[in-house]
Amino acid sequence: MKTLLVSLRENFMVALRALIQNKMRSVLTTLGIIIGVLTVVSVASIISGLNKGFSDQISALGSSTLYVSKYPWVFDDDWFKYRNRPDITLREAEYIAEHMQLAEAVSPAASSRQNIKYRGNSLTGIGVAGITMESNQIENFSVGQGRYFTALEIEKSKNHVVIGYEVMEKLFGGRNPLGERIRIGPVAYTVIGVMEKRGSIMGNSLDSEVYVPIGSIFRNYGFHRSVRILVKVSDPERMAEAKDELHYLMRISRGLKPQDEDDFSINQQEVLTDLYNKLTSGLYTAAFGIGTLSLIVGGIGIMNIMLVSVAERKREIGIRKAMGAKRSTITLQFIIEAIFICTIGGVLAILLGFGMSMLIDKVTPFPSSVPAWSVLMGLGFSTFIGLFFGIYPARRAAKLDPIECLHYE
């Protein structure tokens, strides 16, 4: 055991020396390993960045909220099929609110897109969300400056507005927006509050929206529009049951006969998560395929170089054997050398991966971070490749005849 420890240290130093003496060769040899590990690490970091972004975004939807709308969120058949469905109405929202047992809160939601003006500044195509008192219960708005609507303001459909954080920044700069009047489309609204930063969902910034009483949307921008119904389920454990109840109530309120197809869609966060997972798992598979392939190619390169190294260092092997190195010692020496080269390749790749991830994070709109498991896996893989492809050359070295080696020129 003691002999092993002493020779481990010695082997490590020998490997280090051999590596430094052949810098160029070592770098070229590890290229395959570097590419393999880099592929895995960078794809993992991109995906984990996307995952984080995605779950941040999707959490705004709320995992215990059901959304009744005209269109399903994800579909792969004909869009026209859904276009001819009747709009979802306020009356249906009221019906659900009145009858649904498993709901904690039910709210209709409507939206419009308008240009907004304040003095000289204007913003185009801003989402105007029509909300209710219950919306606040479902979406947990938090108002940073000013206040949320009162029940009376909503009931009377006052032309009052709570603006998103980004809208406030762009429209008012540093000025206090509270009490100011802005034009949303053709209509003047009074600013009563500013939302705290909310982030974005599916590429739409929630901070560049404005919020008005739902009634004012209909009055100011037209009555013929489809609403969505948001249902917050009281018990997240009973999502499936709640979905069934909602489905049943919608069919009743629309007077559908048993043989009729649904003419509405019930959506939930899960639908998006499923779709997302399907997309990213494909990416993962591809990355691992490429990664594994280049690791194998890299491993064969390592084996090749180790065989050359064994041939070049026959005399050294002879000397070591004459001085009492056992087969196992020589085997260990060359395996450690192979592992060492591979691990250095792995470490280089991980450092490159970190750099790449930082670059992606800065330059592209995708968030990116290197997950710890990919670092461990990269190191593990490269070490394993060194071990696996180092065994054969090392055993060859160990079996060499010391007499022949000592006379090798």
Partner 1 sequence: MNTLIELNGVKKIYPIGKVEVHALRGVNLSIRTKEYISIMGPSGSGKSTLMNIIGCLDTPSAGSYLLEGTPVHEMVDNDLAEIRNRKIGFVFQTFNLLPRATALHNVELPLIYSGIAASKRRELAEGALERVGLSDRKLHKPNELSGGQRQRVAIARALVNKPSLILADEPTGNLDSKTGQEIMKILDDLNRAGNTIILVTHEKVIAEHANRVVHLLDGNIAEDRKQESA
| Residue numbers at the binding site for partner 1 (CB under 8 A) | 2-7, 9-10, 17, 21, 315-316, 318-329, 402-403, 406
For residues 9 and 113, which CB has a smaller minimum distance to partner 1 in the complex? Answer: 9
In the complex with partner 1, the residue whose CB is nearer, 196 or 401, is 401
Distance of closest approach, residue 2 Cβ to partner 1, in angstroms: 5
Q: How far is the CB of 9 from partner 1 (least distance, A)?
A: 8
The first and second tokens of residue 260, run together, are 């009729």
CB nearer partner 1, residue 158 or residue 320: 320
Closer of 9 and 81 to partner 1 (Cβ): 9
- By C-beta, is 58 or 406 nearer to partner 1? 406
Answer left, alpha or beta for residue 392, where phi above 0 means left and psi between -120 and 50 means alpha: alpha
CB of residue 325 vs partner 1: minimum separation in angstroms? 5
Shortest distance, CB of residue 323 to partner 1, whole angstroms?
A: 5
Q: Which is nearer to partner 1, 64 or 333 (CB)?
A: 333
Nearer to partner 1, 216 or 331 (CB): 331
Three-class SS of 263-300 = CCEEEEHHHHHHHHHHHHHHHHHHHHHHHHHHHHHHHH
CA-CA-CA-CA torsion for 83, 85, 91, 96, nearest 10 degrees? Answer: -110
For residue 405, the minimal CB distance to partner 1 (Å) is 10
- For residues 281 and 38, what is the distance between their CA atoms, to the nearest angstrom? 18
Q: Minimum distance between the CB of residue 403 and partner 1, rounded to whole angstroms?
A: 5
Residue type for 302, please? I
Is the separation of the CB atoms in 214 and 223 below 8 Å? no
| Nearest-angstrom CA–CA distance, 383 and 4 | 20
Rounded (5°) CA angle 383-385-386: 65
Q: Distance between CA atoms of 205 and 170, rounded to whole angstroms?
A: 14
Is the distance from CB of 378 to CB of 41 less than 8 angstroms? yes
SS3 95: helix
Least separation, in Å, of the C-beta of 383 and partner 1? Answer: 24
Pairing of strands 160-163, 187-195: parallel
